[in-house]
């Protein structure tokens, strides 16, 4: 399966998939999980530290957030989307004041509203309302020959629309934020990028045209299609959602029956901004669950695979687990084992990609679905690995306790395995924001008010729950 996270990642099965198609048992949904006092203290520090990644590494003049830090990096437009919503959490948690968040947000939206757009290959930030996945941190122009990214534009818009709903006061700064948000969103030409109707293409290059792959199957594209359907100016056709769900893969994996997709980020990103509890489309009405429950089951399946540990990776267990897209030690074969650098790792009935690398954002981004297994995992990782894994901006991106080959990797290898030196914006964002959704539901409640989100969900056929209010 091909999918896009800024670039098209090709994933391959590395171990035999343990799939149990005849079993329909699932882990029962737990009663409302009550965070302990020590859990709350842990999450207080985790959210504050992770927030600082977005507040301190962003270019304040244009609002661009680096893809990673402390390594020198280009900007990621998806990280900007997570950053814009993080500022709102920062106000609610008292890390910054509302005026600071509004000023940073306004600078960001002014940049994206005015940044050059054309079909030229250089000197621009985007085209047809979409933006290139990576931009130069200072100039804001396309980085090298990266693609015009539909999914990363959607994640950017998630942050922009959250700012639109939050900054509702009657003053010039907040009024301009709301106006710019509409301008940026309404400019996106979703109809243009449906090269293979009704589906949205994964992207476009001025040098070669549309990327051959489209957004099909279950993945992080839910948010993209909600936004594309909800557009008041250039929407996609109403039949796209039913066409998309027809390519879902419903199966049982490690006793969890759900729509399968192997990296956990695909079960998390759309849920950062959309509360799927209690609302269902036609597909989920037929299955008797909602997408929130689907992500809960996927989280449990991911953990169960790691606990079973069929490839005998070091340290895997009930509190050391989590496979998703993340950094890794090196693209190398060592001692008969294949390792990777950046890769979409995951485990599902469709395929398994596992080289012993664990990403804290896998558990972190699923906190709202399954806090009873995710919060203990994060606490255990911080306690076990200490400063090698947890630093000034919270969790570093990933670690691999099995990897002990310093000659094959530039940095990060220790006697206890490999530990990333970087934090990644697209992985920090879900940790911070899903922790907030777990603790207060703040982002979910905020986005329930956004007319564009409501319109898109309604056109996709969602009914019930908060949509009926």
pLDDT digits (tens, 9 = 90+) for 383-430: 999 999 999 999 999 999 999 887 676 567 666 799 999 999 999 999
Give the pLDDT of residue 431.
98
Span 327-339, average pLDDT: 94
When computed from its CA atoms, the radius of gyration of the chain, rounded to whole angstroms, is: 21
Check the CA dihedral 126-128-133-137 and report its sign. Answer: positive
Give the pLDDT of residue 434.
98
Give the pLDDT of residue 467.
97
Give the pLDDT of residue 405.
86
**pLDDT value at 232 more than 50:** yes
Backbone torsion region of residue 112, taken as left when φ is above 0, otherwise alpha when ψ lies between -120 and 50, otherwise beta: alpha
Give the pLDDT of residue 27.
57
Give the pLDDT of residue 204.
98
Q: How far apart are CA 104 and CA 115, in angstroms?
A: 16
Give the pLDDT of residue 241.
98
**Exposed / middle / buried, residue 279 (Cβ in 10 Å: 0-12, 13-18, 19+):** buried
**pLDDT value at 24 more than 70:** no
Buried b (16+ CB within 10 A) or exposed e, 125-139: bbbbbbbbbbbbbee
Containing domain of residue 339, as a range?
2-468
**pLDDT value at 292 more than 90:** yes
Residues 6+ apart with CB under 8 A from 1: 11, 217, 350, 351
Mean pLDDT estimate for the chain: 93
Q: How confident is the model at residue 33 (pLDDT cuts 50, 70, 90)?
A: confident
pLDDT digits (tens, 9 = 90+) for 171-180: 999 999 999 9
**pLDDT value at 17 more than 70:** no
**pLDDT value at 90 more than 90:** yes
**pLDDT value at 22 more than 70:** no
Q: How confident is the model at residue 7 (pLDDT cuts 50, 70, 90)?
A: very low
**pLDDT value at 290 more than 60:** yes
Name the nearest CA neighbour of 347 among 302, 290, 296, 300.
Answer: 302
Percent pLDDT > 90 in the chain is 89
**pLDDT value at 2 more than 80:** no
User: In 10 A of CB 74, how many CB atoms?
Assistant: 18
**pLDDT value at 19 more than 90:** no
Strand-pairing partners, residue 332, are 339
Q: How far apart are CA 330 and CA 341, in angstroms?
A: 4
Span 57-70, average pLDDT: 98
In total, how many domains does the chain have? Answer: 1
Q: How far apart are CA 462 and CA 469, in angstroms?
A: 13
**pLDDT value at 59 more than 90:** yes
Give the pLDDT of residue 202.
98
pLDDT digits (tens, 9 = 90+) for 119-168: 999 999 999 999 999 999 999 999 999 999 999 999 999 999 999 999 99
Give the pLDDT of residue 269.
98
CATH number at residue 376: 1.50.10.140
Q: Give phi and psi for 437, each to the nearest 5.
A: -65, -35
């Amino acid at each position: 399966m091909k999918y896009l996270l800024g670039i098209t990642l090709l994933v391959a099965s590395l171990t035999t998939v343990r799939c149990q198609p005849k079993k329909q048992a699932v882990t029962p949904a737990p009663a409302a999980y009550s965070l302990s006092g020590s859990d709350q203290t842990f999450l207080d520090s985790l959210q504050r530290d992770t927030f600082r990644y977005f507040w301190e590494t962003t270019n304040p003049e244009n609002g661009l957030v680096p893809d990673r830090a402390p390594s020198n990096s280009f900007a990621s437009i998806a990280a900007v989307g997570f950053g814009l919503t993080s500022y709102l959490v920062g106000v609610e948690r008292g890390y910054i004041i509302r005026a600071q968040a509004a000023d940073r947000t306004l600078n960001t939206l002014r940049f994206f509203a005015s940044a050059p757009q054309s079909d030229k290959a250089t000197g621009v930030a985007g085209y047809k309302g979409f933006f290139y996945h990576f931009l130069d941190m200072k100039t804001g122009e396309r980085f090298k020959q990266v693609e015009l990214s539909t999914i990363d534009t959607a994640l950017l818009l998630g942050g922009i629309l959250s700012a639109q709903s939050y900054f509702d006061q009657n003053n010039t700064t907040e009024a301009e934020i709301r106006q710019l948000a509409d301008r940026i969103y309404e400019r996106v030409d979703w109809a243009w990028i449906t090269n293979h109707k009704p589906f949205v293409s994964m992207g476009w290059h001025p040098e070669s045209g549309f990327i051959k792959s489209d957004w099909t199957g279950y993945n992080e594209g839910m948010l993209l299609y909600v936004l594309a359907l909800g557009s008041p100016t250039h929407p996609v056709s109403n039949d796209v959602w039913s066409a998309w769900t027809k390519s879902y893969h419903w199966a049982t994996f490690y006793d969890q029956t759900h729509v399968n997709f192997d990296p956990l980020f695909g079960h998390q990103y759309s849920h950062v901004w959309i509360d799927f509890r209690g609302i269902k489309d036609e597909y989920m009405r037929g299955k008797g669950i909602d997408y929130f429950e689907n992500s809960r089951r996927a989280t449990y399946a991911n953990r169960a695979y790691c606990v079973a540990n069929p490839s005998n990776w070091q340290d895997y267990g009930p509190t050391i687990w989590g496979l998703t897209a993340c950094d890794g030690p090196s693209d190398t074969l060592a001692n008969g084992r294949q390792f990777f650098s950046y890769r979409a790792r995951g485990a599902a009935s469709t395929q398994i990609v596992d080289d012993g690398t664990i990403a804290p954002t896998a558990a972190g981004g699923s906190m709202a679905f399954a806090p009873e297994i995710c919060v203990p995992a994060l606490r255990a990782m911080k306690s076990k690995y200490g400063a090698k894994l947890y630093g000034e901006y919270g969790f570093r991106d990933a670690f691999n306790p099995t990897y002990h080959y310093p000659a094959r990797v530039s940095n990060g290898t220790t006697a206890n395995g490999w530990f990333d030196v970087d934090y990644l914006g697209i992985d920090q964002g879900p940790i911070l924001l899903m922790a907030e959704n777990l603790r207060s539901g703040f982002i979910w409640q905020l986005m329930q008010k956004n007319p564009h989100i409501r319109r898109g969900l309604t056109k996709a056929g969602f009914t019930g729950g908060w949509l009926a209010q």
